[in-house]
Structure 1
């Protein structure tokens, strides 16, 4: 398994445009934090849907790489999200991911997204990643 610090360095180097912090990492799970700024808000003062989708996708990828190792060519093949309530504009977004299936060619997971400190999720996502064949 890849360490949390090793994986954070990987993301900081390979995806510098996608700033987030890995809060915790375990077998088939990950929790990440996305700091929210004014650039992430849409009219009406809420975190935009594309930002929430980015965080959900990133949480899935972190959990996958934390479980399988640095499989950099794994790709998202499906991402479905349900927006449940308005995220707080003044709070970070926390994504809690759990992998439901880890196979040889496919990984399926679910992500609950929260405004930091709030008990109810703002969104719920499911996603599928394709794993490249081992050569």
Structure 2
């Protein structure tokens, strides 16, 4: 199914958040810093709260933290479409860092561009809160396990 053929979501933001709390409790270690802002057909928006555990020398948000936010947001968008499938996994993630992010929360906006039976491909735009220029652009692929 292509992105121009939207279908309704099967999970709400709250249902996904509850699912993640049970299936991935390690994400909460040290305090929660990733939050779902929106799920929509073939898309999602999430926030990573600015915290020193996400910064690198020089005071900017680290690449691994930005990659985590992008991966988290794609997973949210995918779960909203296919339901609670814990074993859907990232098979590829490519990131282009475009500019130094500001010292504030980071937002991720994901759009699934192809959703098949076994693979989903999406793109994620990362922004510093309050800015319109992208800090990074991500393309990612997820493998969806057979649900028979």
TM bin (shorter chain): over 0.9
The unaligned stretches of length 5 or more in structure 1 are none
Cα RMSD over matched residues?
Answer: 1.0
1:85 counterpart residue number? 99
TM-score by length of 1: 0.95
Deviation at 1:14, TM superposition (A): 2.5
Instruction: Measure, in 2, the Cα distance between the counterparts of 1:57 and 1:118.
Output: 21
Equivalence map 1:54-69=2 (5 Å): 54-69=68-83
TM-score by length of 2: 0.87
Deviation at 1:8, TM superposition (A): 1.1
The unaligned stretches of length 5 or more in structure 2 are 1-9, 28-32
Deviation at 1:88, TM superposition (A): 1.1
Instruction: Measure, in 2, the Cα distance between the counterparts of 1:84 and 1:24.
Output: 24
- Which consecutive segments of 4 or more residues in structure 1 shift more than 2 A? 12-19
Residue 17 of structure 2 is aligned to residue 4 of structure 1: no
Instruction: Measure, in 2, the Cα distance between the counterparts of 1:108 and 1:12.
Output: 25
Equivalence map 1:27-42=2 (5 Å): 27-42=41-56
2:5 counterpart residue number? none
Deviation at 1:30, TM superposition (A): 0.1
Deviation at 1:12, TM superposition (A): 2.6
The number of residues matched between the two structures is: 134
Instruction: Measure, in 2, the Cα distance between the counterparts of 1:34 and 1:10.
Output: 18
Instruction: Measure, in 1, the Cα distance between the counterparts of 2:106 and 2:96.
Output: 15
Q: Secondary structure at the match of 1:66?
A: helix
